[in-house]
Amino acid sequence: MASNLFWREFTRNGAPDIDHPADVEFLAANFVDFFGKWLQDGQNSTTSTMDALTRAFFDKPAKYETQVFLVADGSFVTKASRPTGDWFNPHVRFLAIVTPPGKGADAFGSSTKEWTLAIVGSSLLKDSETFLQVISWNGKAFRFYQVAPPPSLTSLIFSDDATDTEHQRDQTSRGRHIWNYFGNSTDAFGANAYLGPFNGHVNGSCIMKELHM
């Protein structure tokens, strides 16, 4: 069992969220999709950059079909239209869609025999300190995963010039990461409807659009 697989408990009471190690029982009940199983295979869970994760599939065209897109945030807003908007800092992101070969346009079909991954990361492709998120579709539900520093080492320092969800981290945590399970899309209809990815910022990253009133 990989020691760097965790699940996040969202407190939403002012206290910090809590990251718990995913034990055998939790993995068996929740890491049941393609990506969850992939993370448990060998050293896959040590993958922590957009470049490394995308190449794990892109470099095996006989097994996987990988499409990579460049996505611009706020590309329709120009500096000329916001001359005093020094706070505005547009970004580009990379989005990779991974499927079995030949799936084509039906990337999010309802067959439980197939799967689709949507991977989103920063333009700093080989930097393990920028965000990396995955949504995994198994024909029935989406499951959400994200790379993070280990919970005992997490130190978030948000500054006025911080870019989007990117942040500075305590230097002791650099190079050490976990994969965090944030829940699945059916949680939107139960007790967790306002937790996790369903109660975040409305302009979330490309594949983590939160459902929130």
- Spell 130-160 as b/e; 16+ CB within 10 A means b: bbbbbbbbbeebbbbbbbbbebebeeeeeee
Q: For 41, which DSSP code?
A: S
* DSSP of 157-181: E--TT--TT--EE-GGGTT--EEEE
For residue range 57-112, list pLDDT tens digits in order: 999 999 999 999 988 776 666 667 666 666 666 678 899 999 998 876 677 888 88
| 156, 185 Cβ separation under 8 angstroms | no
Amino acid present at 184: N
Q: Which helix (H) or strand (E) holds 147?
A: strand 142-148
* Extents of the domains making up the chain: 5-75+90-198
For residue range 191-201, list pLDDT tens digits in order: 655 555 665 55
Backbone torsion region of residue 120, taken as left when φ is above 0, otherwise alpha when ψ lies between -120 and 50, otherwise beta: beta
Percent of the chain with pLDDT over 90: 38
